Amino acid sequence: MRRDDTPKERFVAYDRFMAVRVLDHPLAKHLVMRLRDQNTRPEAFRKHAMTLSQLLILEATRTLRTKTDTVQTPLEPCSGESMDQGLVVVPVLRAGLGMLEPALAMFADVSVGYIGLERSHDTAIAHSYYCKLPAIGERFTLCLDPMLATGGSASQALALIKGAGAKAIVMVSVVSAPEGVARLQSDHPDVDIVTAALDRELNELKYILPGLGDFGDRLFGTS
């Protein structure tokens, strides 16, 4: 993936392959704070998550391949660039569903896959209970998982996506912990991460601090 299009201050390089790009935009910072607030109700949480996901997906797809194109305006021919690469979006169930709609709304040529991973509250280890992926081919692929905590679930999801043939993959999260970043650095150094916040650490229960609680529970109003 090209690095020249991304200003240096926008990402933290963990090695020569992998980069963590943290959104540096006032609206993104505002939305993260609203998601962190324990008083934000599920309906507002969903709205904020959708808007923030739109910003994250725009950042994550900045390296989509384009081609030279010519159209006829009402006044004259005009040359420019059009997208020349389809998109595959894979939300990790169930929380990743909250990030899916913006991708479907913004991109015409998009296919959707689903990966179901459930993390044990006792061991913090995730196991897969569902995987349905489309034909990927040369498509650009986004893996959507709002909370990159230990990195175990994300690593499993990326392995499944690579097994389906994906080459160009970006991991998209709302909040990331250093432990999760380190896990992906080790397991998938070729996959960049785009996130809205890089938090301090995990607690003894493997929740991100300061974090925002359980994304899925807050999104769907469950506990």
Q: Compute how many other C-beta atoms are within 10 angstroms of the C-beta atom of residue 33.
A: 13
Residue closest to 196 by CA, chosen among 99, 119, 93: 99
> Annotated active-site positions, please?
119, 123, 214, 217
DSSP letter at 95 equals G
3-state DSSP assignment of residue 6: coil
Distance CA(69)–CA(66), nearest Å, equals 9
Phi, psi of 117 (to 5 degrees): -130, 135
Are the beta carbons of 49 and 212 closer than 8 angstroms? no
